[in-house]
Amino acid sequence: MSSKRLAFLEQTTAKGSTDPFAWYGLALEYRNLERYEESLRTFETLRASNPDYVAMYLMCGGLLEKMSRKDDARAWYEAGIAAAKAKRDSHAQGELEGALAALG
């Protein structure tokens, strides 16, 4: 992704946007740039304001695995499974359960 995209997402979220997609995009952009701590903080901010945004749980869990934080990854996957069940999103639930099982 481009530095223009990163700048746009940083500006959008800094202005107080509550759009979960902007926060999710920023977290992924940081992750892709291997700015893992910033990515994690962005996922945590998104979770605090939009705990029902199911997609973030799988991506943040994977990030935490990359950071060798298996217990935290497990907690995010489990929270994501609960959020997916609440939204009746069986596809996301299945992906999260698969990630959790692979975590061991």
> What pLDDT is attached to residue 2?
66
- Residue type for 33, please? L
> What pLDDT is attached to residue 3?
84
Q: Per residue of the chain (104 residues), give pLDDT as tens.
A: 568 999 999 999 999 888 999 999 999 999 999 999 999 999 999 999 999 999 999 999 999 999 999 999 999 999 999 999 999 999 999 999 999 999 97
Domain boundaries, the chain: 3-103
pTM of the model: 0.93
CA 15 from centroid of its chain's CA atoms = 20
Helix, strand and coil in the chain, % to nearest 5: 80, 0, 20
Q: Return d(Cα 37, Cα 97) in angstroms, integer.
A: 25
CATH architecture of the domain 3-103 equals Alpha Horseshoe (1.25)
For the CA atoms of 1, 31, 62, 86, what is the dihedral angle to 10 degrees? -80
